[in-house]
Structure 1
Amino acid sequence: MSDNDPLEPTQVVGAGTTTQQPQDDGATVVVSGVPTSQGTAAPAPGGDAPEAGLLPLGSRLAEFELTRVVGQGGFGVVYEAWDTDLERVVAVKEYLPVSLSSRAGDGTVSPLSQRVRETFDLGLRSFINEARLLAQFDHPSLLKVLRFWQEKGTAYMAMPFYRGDTLRQALNARPGGVDEAWLMAILDGVTQALAVMHAANCYHRDIAPDNIILLADSGRPVLLDFGAARRVITDKTQAITVILKPGYAPVEQYAEMPDMSQGAWTDVYALAAVMHVAITGRAPPPSVARLLNDSYVPLAGDAQLAGRYSARLLSAVDAGLGVRPDARPQSMAEFRALLGLADEAAPVRRPVVQDDDRTVILPPGGARTNAGASSGAAAAEGAASPAGKGRQVALAAVVVLALIAGGGAWWWMQSSSKGDAQLAAKTPAGTADGGPAAAPA
């Protein structure tokens, strides 16, 4: 039903323990294989009543009537709804962190106790700011927020109800490999969308095949699942853990270090890893494992791939997968140039600064401030570029190695045994990309 089952367990490892958590529901606005409703009459509510804690079907939120529960995760729920004003189907996402809140009989959401109120409020502000941020962007390959509002003690955002397959599903349907022209068309849209985000000093930091949908009617890619509220709650409640996707997350996302800052190059690495999966059927080795012993085999030297893909494309993937931040293209414009794509990214409407997953939207001409000191703070690409910090990066790498030495082998073994099982059929000797895992911070 959705591109990423919101109830799929996510492994979280910290202090030698493993727990199970619901996965974030940010991408559950996607429905695969369901015909689009174009009628003028509102869809009739049907099916079983939603689980306890969710709003009953038929409830009204602003001008939207809830008709179906699309999916629920640990940090929110997505409903299919009917826009009674414009007579169209939309997706309504509600901020509902199950571990921090409860719903009263009148539908009001409130924190479970005073002890968790601060964390609940932080997540709520992050959810609202994410909606504000997305509402500023107007690019066909970026998730569009139609409107957002606060009601019943929580917040909501209304989005288009996207129908299509995720990139992961599309790749599974092509076990023999993908065509370069098809892949480049997807990359063109995604890189333009990311360039728009980066121009506003906002970085995705969770790019993966599950977070890119190909629309059913046009095949156009749309980038999904920003998960800002999920990140800020996780940072607040699980200080000893970091939730990442091995194979896609670059090394700077595994630890907070001044000389391993995150920026546009962080999204470059993740997108290059997605391209690696599309081309070879498997994700590259986890970046932390590559610090110790880089087993990555450059695609540009593979004679078999050279017969199917251009040297420019293969070399661009290799460049994007540089282990050290300063070894990669430093902006999406540089990455697009390596891919041979024209720079046609659309401008943003207003300046936006994201700091600690709290987004500040500035008035036109307003001054920008940046008070963040955590790993979530994103600096401008030029100011935060890690180039020229080789000695500090080497020192940081040693510290990271000491932290992950005990767990790196476990992650790699886990990621090699699950994830893209179907994609790995393209290259039997390859390792499938893993699902979300956690690293000690």
Structure 2
Amino acid sequence: MKGGNDKRPAGKTRHPAPGQRTLPATQGGSNALPTGAQVGEFEIVDLIGEGGFGIVYLAYDHSLHRHVALKEYMPSGMASRTQEMHVIVQSEHYAGTFKAGLRSFVNEARLLAQFDSPSLVKVYRFWEANGTAYMVMPYYEGITLKQALKDHRIVPTEQWIREFLGGLFDAIETIHRAKCFHRDIAPDNILLLKDGRPLLLDFGAARRVIEDLTHSPTVILKPGFAPIEQYAQVSGMRQGAWTDVYALAAVVYYIVSGKRPPPAVTRMVDDDMVSAREAGKGRYSEAFLAAIDRALTVQPEQRIQSMQDLRRALAIDDDAGTVARTRSAAPQRDDLERTRINT
């Protein structure tokens, strides 16, 4: 199903009126909707995940009779919910930031709805209602790469990594062709599905907009996976395709060495990182490891510049993603965890 033009007006940003009551917080201060709540034709079945900027539910689509993942825009630090399920801004001070985040959430949904890659989250539809916005996605089941490595559920041979990267190259190149960049590629943002296919999660566009406006952008950075140009204090460095190149190479380094690279700001001052060639020596080919080292160059202009260039450097064919989806590259245990779509 194609989504993207099913947008309903949400009206003006609401603030608590005198005497207006908000929904009592659930255990742990959650803003999540209760089980059984109806959002359009979707019935809330369970809570999948809740973060500072959104909530993801398992929901049942009564129109198409299937389970889906429903994501709700809910920046908990500046909004709450009334007993009528409306999301309201806690203070006029936050109104502009809330609206900017809402626009970014909708734009992200619209963007994802246009993409068609097996390794990208698909958005079926999105709309605005109840003072907020929602997007509906497939209900994915799998385990994050980070957890799979921690639990020793995969054996990361070079062939496995090549097939794994083939799917991710397809996804990231799809994004880049639209002049967009992910900027948060990391082991906890990659889901391994039951068929072995990697799924790239969490664009986090609304979160980035809000944290930029509140002057705390470094909160979203993952040390070791974020390149130097993503740090706010480093001026004169542009972000681009090479930003995602660094992050993806850092993911491979993490797989190969069992450790994330040192933070880019530390490497900028004193780069004592053990090279991929050294960390993976004897287990992976020298050419493969050398390409990862080049992609992890601290200075952006000296780094591999595009996913196409990284693909060529690693000698990964364009059809590698297809191979990864057809071979038994899946995690080796059947007890895969519930989907995790970042909030």
Letter in 1 for 2:96: E
User: Is the contact between residue 45 and residue 59 of structure 2 (CA under 8 Å) also seen in structure 1?
Assistant: yes
Select the residue among 75, 84, 97 that pairs with 2:53. Answer: 75
Residue equivalent to 2:289: 314
User: Following the alignment from structure 1 to structure 2, what is the Cα–Cα distance between the partners of residues 72 and 137?
Assistant: 25
Q: CA deviation at 1:305?
A: 2.9
User: Is the contact between residue 195 and residue 345 of structure 1 (CA under 8 Å) also seen in structure 2?
Assistant: no
Residue equivalent to 1:173: 151
SS at match of 2:136: strand
Q: 2:196 matched to 1:235? A: no
Residue equivalent to 1:287: 264
Select the residue among 170, 174, 180 that pairs with 1:202. Answer: 180
Cα shift readout 1:203-227 (whole Å, capped 9, x = no counterpart)? 00011100000102x0100000111
User: Following the alignment from structure 1 to structure 2, what is the Cα–Cα distance between the partners of residues 341 and 117?
Assistant: 47
Letter in 2 for 1:213: L
Q: CA deviation at 1:85?
A: 1.5
Q: 2:237 matched to 1:272? A: no
Residue equivalent to 2:310: 335
Letter in 2 for 1:248: F
Residue equivalent to 1:140: 118
SS at match of 1:306: coil
Cα shift readout 1:327-378 (whole Å, capped 9, x = no counterpart)? 11111000000111124699xxxxxxxxxxxxxxxxxxxxxxxxxxxxxxxx
Letter in 2 for 1:204: H
Letter in 2 for 1:327: Q
Q: CA deviation at 1:312?
A: 2.1
Select the residue among 96, 115, 120 that pairs with 2:98. Answer: 120
Residue equivalent to 2:31: 53
User: Following the alignment from structure 1 to structure 2, what is the Cα–Cα distance between the partners of residues 293 and 276?
Assistant: 19
Letter in 1 for 2:310: F
Q: Residues 101 and 126 (structure 1 numbering): CA distance in 2 closer, same or farther, change over 3 Å?
A: same
Q: Residues 240 and 159 (structure 1 numbering): CA distance in 2 closer, same or farther, change over 3 Å?
A: closer
User: Is the contact between residue 100 and residue 111 of structure 1 (CA under 8 Å) also seen in structure 2?
Assistant: yes
TM-score (norm 1): 0.64
Q: Residues 177 and 55 (structure 1 numbering): CA distance in 2 closer, same or farther, change over 3 Å?
A: closer
RMSD: 2.2
Structure 2 residue runs of 5 or longer lacking an equivalent are 1-25, 322-343
Cα shift readout 1:160-214 (whole Å, capped 9, x = no counterpart)? 1110111111212338962111111111101111011011110000111000001
Which structure 1 residue ranges, 4+ long, deviate > 4 Å from structure 2?
Answer: 48-52, 239-242
Q: Residues 180 and 339 (structure 1 numbering): CA distance in 2 closer, same or farther, change over 3 Å?
A: same
Q: CA deviation at 1:114?
A: 1.6
Q: Residues 220 and 336 (structure 1 numbering): CA distance in 2 closer, same or farther, change over 3 Å?
A: same
User: Following the alignment from structure 1 to structure 2, what is the Cα–Cα distance between the partners of residues 240 and 222?
Assistant: 25
Q: Residues 295 and 177 (structure 1 numbering): CA distance in 2 closer, same or farther, change over 3 Å?
A: farther
Structure 1 residue runs of 5 or longer lacking an equivalent are 1-47, 347-441
Residue equivalent to 1:159: 137
Percent identity of equivalent pairs: 52
